[in-house]
């Protein structure tokens, strides 16, 4: 695993949307959380998992 640059930025954006939604839960922020923040979090986690998997494979742990 070299770095997690875009994952960190995507997660920061998703956290900002989630924070806005938590404090001001109107329909547009609910939509932004549901259709933007959640998929961003999912992509981030999947990408992280893929990098960890590759890292472990390269070190012959898996």
Partner 1 sequence: METVTLVRVLGTVICFTGMALCWYMRRTRFNALSSEKEVSVANVRLTQSAFWKLLAFVGIVLVPLAAIGLANYHTLEGTHKVSACASCHIMRPMVNDMQKAASNTLAARHFKNHWIPQNQCYECHSDYGLNGNLQAKMEGYRHLARYTTRTYQEPIKIRGHFNNENCLKCHQGMPLFEAVKSHQSVRVLLDQSSMSCLNCHGQAHPSRAQRTPGSADYTKLMEAVR
Residues lying near partner 1 in the complex (CB under 8 A) are found at 1-5, 7-9, 11-12, 14-16, 18-19, 21-23, 25-28, 30-35, 37-38, 41, 44-45, 48-49
Nearest distance, CB of residue 62 and partner 1, angstroms: 16
Determine how many CB atoms are found less than 10 A away from the CB of residue 28: 10
Nearest distance, CB of residue 29 and partner 1, angstroms: 9
What is the CA angle 18-24-26, rounded to 5? 95
What is the CA angle 4-39-24, rounded to 5? 105
Nearest distance, CB of residue 60 and partner 1, angstroms: 16
């Amino acid at each position: 695993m070299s770095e997690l640059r875009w994952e960190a930025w995507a997660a920061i954006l998703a956290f900002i949307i989630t924070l806005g939604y938590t404090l001001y839960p109107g329909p547009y922020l609910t939509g932004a959380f549901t259709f933007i923040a959640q998929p961003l979090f999912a992509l981030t986690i999947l990408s992280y998992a893929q990098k960890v998997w590759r890292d472990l494979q390269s070190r012959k742990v898996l």
